Chains A and B, each alone.
Chain A
Amino acid sequence: MDIVLQQLVNGLTLGSVYGLIAIGYTMVYGIIGMINFAHGDVYMVSAYLTAISIALLTFFGVESFPFIIFGALVFTIVITGAYGWVIERVAYRPLRNSSRLSVLISAIGMSLILQNYVQLSQGPNQQGVPTLITGAFRFHIGDGYVQITYMKVLILLIALAGMGILTYIIQKTKLGRMCRATQQDRKMASILGIDTDKVISSVFVIGSAMAALAGVLVTLDYGAFDFYIGFIMGIKAFTAAVLGGIGSLPGAMLGGLILGLSESLFAGLVSSDYKDVFSFSLLVLILIIRPSGLLGKPAVEKV
């Protein structure tokens, strides 16, 4: 009983992190129909930026955690967003009207560039940040207990807040309306006077900012990272996006939660060695039943 609850909590936090990163995949796919393979590495860059910002803040004598965490969040989100903007400008926009395959290759190239650039500039070894928040809530259930660290609670709260703000932006604000219009018919949107290049850039910035949010939270929780973490995290988040229906925003969040929960429940109850096998089998199963993902719309040929 206690182990199920414990893994549910772990899965929820893990899933919300997957969901945050999956948002970047799904938004970019929705708007320009490409898989941004460099997105996982944007997440990796944000982990390094977190460490740099914490180092900078402590160097300038900021001691209290709320300020450090807030400063790290702002710094990392802004710089990672700038990374997203530059990546789109440099690697994707010049290929806007070429075949999808060339953009895909460009994305893989961008991913390799980011990995190698970080490896060269920061060194190939694993790096770490000190644990800032310690302590946990403990709930005794029967003989055992469920432990929820304060950090996990913070991850869940900030991730949910991030998703909430994003949903509000997309559904209610003018930028969101422009994004949705561009997503449905880019050429038509530009004929109505919308600068679609600017909208696409802002989607990349938003996606990268969400990855940065995830990067800060995970780095503060786990503490250790290297230049290669973006790959596996990217694959997982991409899976989450596909699971929920790529192109759908709520789908990405739902897919992330399902993936995180199934992974941690399987790891806790059956075997942690086979958790990836289980979650990817789940993906295969869901795609057999619903080829366009849980909340995705079936692709209909335009006539």
Chain B
Amino acid sequence: MSQENILKIENLVMHFGGIKALNDVTFDIKRGSVSALIGPNGAGKTTVFNCITGFYKATGGNIMLSANGKETSVIKVLGEAFRLTDFFSPIAFFQRLKYKMFGGSHLVNRAGLSRTFQNIRLFKEMSVVENLLVAQHMRVNRNLLGGILNTKAYKQAESDALERAFYWLGVVDLVDFANRLAGELSYGQQRRLEIARAMCTNPEIVCLDEPAAGLNPSETEALTKMIRVLRDEHNTTVLLIEHDMGMVMDISDYIVVLDHGEVIAEGGPDDIKTNPKVIAAYLGAEEGEEMTL
């Protein structure tokens, strides 16, 4: 039980049929840090994200998330196959049975982790504010009868949720668009809305998959500021995948470099910039700026 590391990934393996996307990936993420996961295309960065967030069920290894005051094994809550030893230990058996029946990626989010996607996945036919409300349903009184009868507690919960939604709209500068359909927003606005939605689930760690992809330089700068706000004002740990090396080096406290499904280097920005293995992996790129593949 380490309070210092919010996320511990040990010997993570992910196979798709015969393809070994991840081969024994091990790294830790410190609480309250901004960490980056980089690597050439096809290195397995997004696969790591998908395993961490419960989008995929990892083939092997261990992912421990220590948030909301408890330790959660991401692979366990997705529901594992029974093992022979379970039949001798009723507690382990029932726990596995419980997660097999009621487990799923929603439990990873409830444990305090949320994410955004490389290709934006907003609910395009819902309004901007509804996209944020739907992310908060776990906190709010979700009694259907209360909703139909419009009880006082329900109204209060709804107005709290709205307030929080507008707070985050303010942070990402989208208040004026609250009642537009999410699909009508511009690309940059959709990216920001996705981050706001991820934050509305009140996570302790948020995983951003290429948040700066397709943004212009001034938007990228605004994003960098916003990520700092997340860390400094909301005590949220940020883990991001990014190809914009300028931004990565600028913002990250810690960088993990992946290549061919393995961690080839990890450390602070300065260590990574000069690491010969990293430079080799990026096809001989010499300076940080040219490493944008």
Contacts and interface: CB of A to CB of B under 8 A. Distances in A.
A272 interface: no
Contacts of A173: 144, 147-148
B260 interface: no
Interface string A173-204: 11101101100110111111111110000000
B124 A184 contact: yes
B20 to A, nearest CB: 22
B116 to A, nearest CB: 10
B148 A192 contact: no
B273 interface: no
B32 interface: no
A172 interface: yes
A185 B147 contact: no
B55 A192 contact: no
Nearest to A188: B121
A145 interface: no
Given A177-B133, A187-B55, A193 B110 contact: yes
A189 B104 CA distance: 11
A180 B130 CA distance: 10
Interface in B103-132: 104-106, 108-110, 114-115, 117, 121, 123-126, 130
A178 B55 contact: no
Task: Name the interface size band of chain B.
Answer: 20 to 34
Contacts of A184: 123-126
Given A181-B126, A188-B121, A194 B106 contact: yes
B106 to A, nearest CB: 5
B201 interface: yes
Contact of A195 (B106, B117, B134, B197): B106
A298 to B, nearest CB: 14
Nearest to A176: B147
Contacts of B138: 193
A65 interface: no
Contacts of B115: 191
A165 B147 CA distance: 12
A185 B120 CA distance: 11
A139 interface: no
A168 interface: yes
A172 B121 contact: no
B104 to A, nearest CB: 6
Interface string A231-251: 000000000000000000000
Nearest to A303: B119
A265 to B, nearest CB: 34
Interface in B135-165: 135, 137-138, 140, 142, 144, 147-148
A180 B115 CA distance: 20
A293 B226 CA distance: 44
B147 A172 contact: yes
Contacts of A188: 117, 121, 123
B106 A193 contact: yes
A100 B6 CA distance: 39
Given A169-B148, A177-B134, A191 B126 contact: no
A175 B144 CA distance: 7
A121 to B, nearest CB: 29
Contacts of B126: 177, 180-181, 184
Contacts of A187: 55, 105
Contacts of B124: 184
Nearest to A187: B55
A191 B140 CA distance: 17
Nearest to B143: A174
Interface in A200-237: none
B54 interface: yes
A175 B134 CA distance: 9
A192 B104 contact: no
A182 to B, nearest CB: 9
A181 B104 contact: no
Interface string B74-101: 0000000000000000000000000000
A169 B142 CA distance: 12
Contacts of A169: 144, 147-148
B121 A193 contact: no
Contacts of A165: 148
B53 interface: yes
Given A173-B144, A192-B109, 5 more contacts: A169-B147, A190-B109, A191-B109, A191-B115, A193-B114
14 contacts: A165-B148, A169-B147, A174-B142, A174-B147, A175-B144, A177-B126, A178-B137, A180-B126, A180-B134, A185-B121, A191-B54, A192-B135, A194-B106, A197-B104
Interface of B: 53-55, 102, 104-106, 108-110, 114-115, 117, 121, 123-126, 130, 133-135, 137-138, 140, 142, 144, 147-148, 197, 201
